[in-house]
Amino acid sequence: MEDIVGLLKKHNLLRVIEESVDIDLEIPHIAFLEIKKTDSKALLFLKPVSKRLGKEFHIPVLMNIFGSKDALRLIFGKEPEEISRQIEEITKLRIEAGLKGKTEFVTKLLSFTHMPPKRVSSKGLCQEFIKQGDKVNLFNLPILTTWSGDSGAFITMGQVYTQSLDGSLQNLGMYRMQVHDKNHLGVHWQIHKDGMHFFHEYQKAGQKMPISIAIGGDPLYIWCGQAPMPYGFFELLLYGFIRGKKAKLVKSLTNPIYIPDDVDFVLEGWIDPQDFAPEGPFGDHTGYYTPQEPYPVMEVTCITSKLEPVYHATVVGKPPIEDKYMGQATGKIFLPLLKTTTPELIDYDMPENGVFHNLIMAKMKTRYFGHAKQFMHAFWGVGQMSFVKHAIFVNHDAPKLQDYESISRFILNRISKENIVISEGICDALDHASPNACYGGKLGIDCTGEEIDAELKEIITNEKLLDQASSICSEIKAVRQFATDTKTPITFIAIKKERLVKEVFKMLRPIRKHTKLLVFVDANVDDIENLYMLIWKVTNNIDAKRDLFLEDEFFGLDATVKGKMDCYEREWPNVVNCDKNVLDSLRKRGLIDISDEVLKKFWI
């Protein structure tokens, strides 16, 4: 961690804040706004305080270290594309005929000997300072409360180390951890995570589960913790592959878990598989609060640290946030592994305002009629791709996926009812739109063919369209058209919902000559001029099986808040947002410098 702080400072990618700033809301708000800047920097808070606890901490807080492409490059020590090429070499590793081929194969294999972590028997740098038993106190760490609707303080950049019941498998994951009291943490791992798989083993055996939470150290540890690795593959093998050296591990003092020698903090403990407690709500990376639900509880038996540690944290909420850059690197690096299952895949992109699992675009080599539809199901069956809600597939001759203006036009000229697939399957636990937790509708669109044979619509002004639409349904308060020169013009409709949106959609058939896709949003919360945030809103708020309406070449999407009228029985979550009083205070003290235009752009 000292190395990366030095590198960031050397490359003018670090802002040091020497003023006293509160760990409750203030530090997270500063970090959240910083990442919205085009020239965002990592932040080092030297004097964190807690008015709530009446404490001054002598532990600096480090935020946003993954907050730019330049910072990411420094952390990796190389370009993500170079790591991707190295992984591709492994996937294509073959024994060629002859002595030379065999020699080259063995040489390649030997080059991977640095990958497995190395366990040492000595005490680690992370164990210079030790607190055990009654001396364990989580409130002595500057653990942040991020949002005003959060149920408490959460560890947000914890490296969660666990092992299988028989000790043969190790796992490094990244899960949020809620502080319940001075020595208990809520462990928010989801049904598809390896940590949860291990937990079920201990639960079935009736045994306590060992767990250690590391904070800080080499930032690459935390990136490896969120990498989509296959089950049973210890993420620190990936660390060794990228770094070209073994991760050095030491044993925790009060459980059998091994953790990296150079992390800043280690929280050791055990999980009683019978002990659950309410966890959340928490404003998560979707930009919405996740509800309060029961999760396992970790009893912290020991806290160790370096003598001069740094507390590493992140902030999550509406995009763009720090995980934007982490996700972009992950996409590039793991493309070769995804190709081993779907070899026709050329590239894929997860737009930041689709918060990754909500929207993906994929470019493929289409080989025969119906190939893309077959490909969709293969895609939805691969690891973490199975959590993707909305997937759009284009052919190899499509524009670059990251050129959003061009690829959008390409897609909109190829959408027809016949090219749309509505399926269902597992969803991310953070998805709130599906009628059932962790299971809901999925949308696939096959845009691999030629432009559809359809006449352009008869476009009229927004004002005239609003007059027509509102005369049909008085609940409609505003309209805004986009992509009017494509075969699929989009009309966003702000509605004060008093009936099922599907009924309103049917009422609006008379305007179909002017538009093709109607997207309904709530009139009281949405700015229908802001396409960036509208995409964020829509991809969060729809379940394809319930909210997509198809009538020949006239489509509707219901992205409004759902309730009992929609037969939605779950609690619809609130949107995460900054506290105005906190923003005003930070501005007066000169701790934030961000324009009202930027706040409006990102619905802050």
For residue 583, being part of any structural domain is answered with no
Which tens digit of pLDDT belongs to each residue from 551-604?
A: 988 999 999 999 999 999 999 999 999 999 999 999 999 999 988 899 999 999
Query: Last residue of some domain: 447, 475, 490?
Result: 447
For residue 322, being part of any structural domain is answered with no
The per-residue pLDDT for 478 is 96
* φ and ψ of 504, to 5 deg: -65, -45
Confidence band for 108, pLDDT divided at 50, 70 and 90: low
CATH of the domain at 558: 3.40.1670.10
* 239 and 295 part of one domain: yes
Q: Taking residues 419-431, what's their average pLDDT?
A: 91
Q: Which residues of 130-157 are buried (b: 16+ CB within 10 A; e: fewer)?
A: eeeeeebebeebbbbbbbbbbbbbbbbb
* φ and ψ of 167, to 5 deg: 80, 5
For residue 107, being part of any structural domain is answered with no
* 193 and 236 part of one domain: yes
pLDDT at 377 over 70: yes
* 132 and 235 part of one domain: yes
Q: Taking residues 234-261, what's their average pLDDT?
A: 95
The per-residue pLDDT for 253 is 97
Q: Which domain holds residue 169?
A: 2-77+113-312
Determine the Cα–Cα distance for residues 555 and 550; give it in Å rounded to an integer.
Answer: 5
> Which is more confidently placed, 59 or 88?
59
For residue 92, being part of any structural domain is answered with no
Strand partners, 476: 495
pLDDT at 126 over 50: yes
Lowest mean per-residue pLDDT among 117-131, 144-158, 300-314, 427-441: 427-441
pLDDT at 333 over 70: yes
- Side-chain-side CA neighbours of 297 within 13 Å: the count stands at 16
The per-residue pLDDT for 175 is 92
pLDDT at 264 over 50: yes
Please calculate the CA angle 511-512-516 and round it to the nearest 5 degrees. Answer: 130
Residue 24 is given by DSSP the state B
pLDDT at 54 over 80: yes
397 is catalytic: no
Strand partners, 439: 426, 436
The per-residue pLDDT for 353 is 94
* 163 and 35 part of one domain: yes
Which tens digit of pLDDT belongs to each residue from 334-356?
A: 888 888 888 899 999 999 999 88
Q: Taking residues 426-450, what's their average pLDDT?
A: 92
* 297 and 377 part of one domain: no
Query: Last residue of some domain: 447, 477, 497?
Result: 447
Query: Last residue of some domain: 422, 447, 472?
Result: 447
pLDDT at 53 over 90: yes
* 266 and 131 part of one domain: yes
pLDDT at 361 over 60: yes
Check if the beta carbon of residue 555 is closer than 8 Å to that of residue 516.
Answer: yes
Check if the beta carbon of residue 260 is closer than 8 Å to that of residue 221.
Answer: yes
For residue 73, being part of any structural domain is answered with yes
CATH of the domain at 7: 2.30.110.10
* 22 and 150 part of one domain: yes
The per-residue pLDDT for 123 is 93
Which tens digit of pLDDT belongs to each residue from 194-205?
A: 788 899 999 999
Burial classification of residue 92, based on how many CB atoms lie within 10 Å of its CB (0-12 exposed, 13-18 middle, 19 or more buried): exposed
Share of the chain above pLDDT 90, in %: 80
Q: How does the average pLDDT of the chain come out, rounded?
A: 93
The per-residue pLDDT for 337 is 84
The per-residue pLDDT for 107 is 53
Lowest mean per-residue pLDDT among 24-33, 86-95, 469-478: 86-95
Determine the Cα–Cα distance for residues 213 and 120; give it in Å rounded to an integer.
Answer: 19
* 294 and 371 part of one domain: no
Based on the structure, what is the number of domains in the chain? Answer: 3
* 174 and 282 part of one domain: yes
What pTM, to 2 d.p., does this model score? Answer: 0.93
* 542 and 433 part of one domain: no
Which tokens go with 157? 């950049």
Cis check for the bond before 296: say yes or no (omega within 30 of 0). Answer: no
* φ and ψ of 288, to 5 deg: -125, 160
Check if the beta carbon of residue 162 is closer than 8 Å to that of residue 209.
Answer: yes
Q: Taking residues 296-313, what's their average pLDDT?
A: 97
Q: Which residues of 260-285 are buried (b: 16+ CB within 10 A; e: fewer)?
A: bbbbbbbbbbbbebeeeeebbbbbbb
* 214 and 287 part of one domain: yes
* 562 and 483 part of one domain: yes
For residue 353, being part of any structural domain is answered with yes
Set 22, 24, 284, 543: catalytic member: 284
The per-residue pLDDT for 105 is 47
For residue 106, being part of any structural domain is answered with no
Confidence band for 545, pLDDT divided at 50, 70 and 90: very high
The per-residue pLDDT for 149 is 97
The per-residue pLDDT for 573 is 95
For residue 284, being part of any structural domain is answered with yes
